[in-house]
């Protein structure tokens, strides 16, 4: 069976599985639609949470970002994993004990204000809508490459699949579908990694292969990679820091971490289990399931980068001068996988010196030795542009793995994007139907009509998300990081203060959310030139790129969170404290029943 047919069969079977599950697990009540009836077991919920959490960013982009950034790319691993631990330990059990369906409902009840709930809905919609752009774009990229359709057509197909299992099944259908999607994506990610680790190091565990010896040499794989990239003018793989700023790296990590803990679609998963104990247990299982992919990603990144260099430059494996005239790959001999990815526009080759060969190096290097060697070899600039997003998807093709492995990766990438898109759409739907319609505009709406509104809201959200995927706004390049920044600066502080500060009042919480959100959005949009126009061009409004202590827009969410906390506590000090029953409720949720009975004083 040829590659294209194999891809059609594997992807088609996976889609049939998702739709079949959706038909079987239709939601018949608001409880099933919003929280799967609260009847999902810890292991299954852990698996569904892992699929919900591991989006296209985790499956498709993360290893590519690490491959491109080197050591500095570890901030995505540290931020996303650390944030999940923060969520599991500090937030999820207490939120489950509150017993609410959604984050805005918790904020509305805890801060005794419909206005607070409405503001939380606005923050949720801003973060979730921003995040979903990346998912739909990922769906389009995967379809365009593997199904030989345009990215626009791919997004339409993705919309239809999500519509079938999310609108009809609600959280119940999404949960069971995400379990299947987790199984698909984890096999799709780890099987190619095992094959490639065996090829390059002889070790079948990629996690161990990363620290193993590169085949045919006495050097470790990382030492070999460091040698290759530095000789070609790139930064040292094992020590590179993004933007040469440790402060920015720290703030970026922190923004991703607290943004993770504030993402509504992940928090909602902990409302689907029967008890607080099960919420803690499912958080632990989810961490195990997530760790399988997240500990594999650094190995995938390093091995994919080394394989790419070895494909383009024969001296990488053979040894010798990387700048030798015959070391570069002849353009006419480039493998089929390169030609296939060139059609997507995510990989580009330009023969700048007309020698018919592909020179892949850093032509902007400050390494004088590498620059001199490139000039002596007659190289006129880097001739290969590789989008980091293709590294995972192209990895099995680069390594010449069997067709069924390549097809499995296609199915895995789509599963990752669709599972998170469904979770985000569920968060958006519940915010509109449960928190806005029922919570504010029509408190007496019947359960049947609320369920109908929820389904209509989700259908509308699918249409809007698809439109955003087809017409991404000008700032869409950093959409995933921006979504985390929005959640970090607006929702996370409010949730934390709602749980751990019984004295925090509604005025403080609302002022903090607004301040954090506005600071984050202003910094991001000002960098993108949204606010000020000079002549016919947008201009940076704040004094140049990364003008606030070198912090990038993707990392500003951590600063926004600090502003949120500061404003909230300042406003709280000059306004009336919460009612006594609210303070008692917070204390009852946070402190286990009977704890005072064993302290020796009673």
Confidence check: pLDDT of 547 > 70: no
Residue 43: which of 286, 338, 322 has the closest Cα? 286
Confidence check: pLDDT of 592 > 70: no
DSSP codes joined into one string, 352-414: SSSSSEE--S-TT---HHHHHHHHHTT--S--EEE-TTHHHHHHHHHTT--HHHHHHHHHHHH
Mean pLDDT of 214-219: 86
Mean pLDDT of 38-54: 82
Which residue in this structure is represented by tokens 């918790």? Answer: 106
Confidence check: pLDDT of 387 > 90: no
pLDDT in tens, 330-364: 999 999 889 888 887 788 999 999 999 999 999 99
pLDDT in tens, 132-150: 877 777 777 777 767 777 7
Alpha carbon distances (Å) from 40 to 34, 81, 172, 281, 393: 13, 23, 9, 12, 32
Mean predicted lDDT score pLDDT of the chain: 84
The pTM (predicted TM-score) of the whole model is 0.84
Confidence check: pLDDT of 597 > 70: no
**Among residues of the chain, what percentage have pLDDT more than 90?**
36
pLDDT in tens, 280-319: 888 889 889 999 999 999 999 999 999 999 999 999 988 8
Q: Do the bridges between strand 329-330 and strand 384-386 make them parallel or antiparallel, or are there none, so unpaired?
A: unpaired
Q: How confident is the model at residue 593 (pLDDT cuts 50, 70, 90)?
A: low
SS3 assignment, position 141: helix
Q: How confident is the model at residue 541 (pLDDT cuts 50, 70, 90)?
A: very low
Alpha carbon distances (Å) from 112 to 251, 490, 583: 33, 18, 11
Cα–Cα distance, 114 to 111 (Å, whole number): 9
Alpha carbon distances (Å) from 237 to 31, 201, 320: 49, 18, 20
Structural domains of the chain ordered from first start:
3-303+408-472 (1.10.4160), 306-398 (no CATH)
């Amino acid at each position: 069976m040829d590659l294209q047919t194999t891809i059609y069969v594997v992807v088609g079977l996976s889609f049939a599985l998702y739709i079949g599950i959706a038909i079987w697990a239709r939601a018949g009540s608001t409880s099933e639609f919003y929280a799967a009836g609260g009847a999902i077991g810890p292991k299954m919920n852990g698996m569904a949470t892992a699929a919900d959490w591991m989006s296209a960013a985790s499956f498709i982009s993360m290893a590519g970002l690490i491959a491109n950034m080197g050591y500095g790319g570890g901030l995505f691993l540290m931020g996303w994993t650390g944030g999940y631990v923060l969520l599991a330990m500090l937030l999820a059990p207490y939120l489950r004990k509150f017993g609410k369906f959604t984050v805005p409902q918790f904020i509305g009840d805890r801060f005794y204000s419909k206005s607070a709930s409405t503001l939380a809905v606005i923050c949720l919609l801003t973060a979730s809508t921003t995040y979903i752009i990346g998912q739909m774009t990922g769906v389009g990229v995967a379809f365009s490459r593997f199904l030989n359709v345009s990215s626009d057509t791919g997004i339409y197909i993705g919309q239809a699949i999500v519509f079938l299992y999310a609108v009809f099944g609600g959280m119940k259908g999404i949960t069971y579908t995400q379990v299947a999607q987790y199984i698909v994506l984890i096999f799709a990610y780890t099987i190619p990694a095992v094959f490639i680790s065996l090829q390059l190091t002889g070790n079948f565990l990629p996690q161990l292969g990363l620290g193993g010896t590169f085949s045919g040499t006495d050097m470790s794989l990382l030492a070999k990679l460091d040698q290759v990239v530095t000789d070609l003018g790139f930064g040292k793989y094992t020590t590179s820091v993004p933007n040469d700023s440790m402060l920015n790296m720290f703030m970026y990590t922190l923004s991703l971490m607290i943004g993770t803990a504030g993402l509504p679609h992940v928090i909602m998963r902990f409302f689907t289990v029967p008890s607080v104990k099960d919420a803690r247990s499912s958080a632990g299982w989810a961490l195990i399931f997530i760790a399988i992919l997240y500990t594999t990603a650094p190995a995938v990144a390093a091995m994919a980068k080394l394989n790419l260099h070895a494909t383009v430059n024969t001296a990488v494996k053979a040894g010798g001068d990387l700048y030798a005239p015959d070391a570069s790959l002849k353009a006419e001999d480039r493998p089929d996988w390169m030609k296939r990815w060139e059609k997507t526009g995510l990989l580009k080759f330009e023969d700048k010196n007309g020698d018919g060969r592909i020179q892949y190096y850093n032509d902007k290097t400050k390494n004088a030795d590498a620059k001199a060697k490139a000039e002596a070899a007659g190289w006129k600039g880097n001739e290969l542009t590789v989008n980091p997003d293709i590294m995972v998807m192209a990895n099995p093709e680069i390594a010449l793995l069997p067709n069924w492995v390549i097809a499995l990766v296609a199915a895995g990438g789509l599963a990752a994007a669709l599972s998170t898109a469904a979770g985000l759409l569920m968060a958006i739907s519940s915010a509109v139907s449960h928190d806005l319609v029922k919570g504010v505009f029509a408190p007496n709406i019947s359960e049947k009509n609320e369920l109908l509104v929820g389904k209509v809201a989700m259908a509308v959200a699918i249409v809007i998300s698809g439109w955003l995927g087809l017409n991404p706004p000008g700032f869409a390049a950093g959409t995933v990081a921006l979504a985390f920044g929005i959640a970090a600066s607006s929702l996370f502080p409010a949730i934390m203060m709602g749980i751990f500060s019984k004295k925090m009042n509604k005025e403080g919480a609302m002022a903090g959310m607004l301040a954090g959100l506005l600071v984050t959005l202003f910094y991001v949009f000002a960098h993108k030139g949204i606010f000020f126009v000079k002549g016919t061009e947008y201009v940076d409004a704040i004094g140049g790129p990364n003008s606030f202590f070198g912090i990038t827009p993707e990392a500003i969410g951590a600063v926004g969170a600090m502003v949120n906390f500061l404003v909230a506590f300042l406003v709280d000090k000059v306004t009336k404290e919460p009612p006594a029953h609210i303070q008692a409720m917070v204390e009852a949720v946070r402190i286990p029943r009977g704890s005072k009975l064993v302290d020796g004083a009673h």
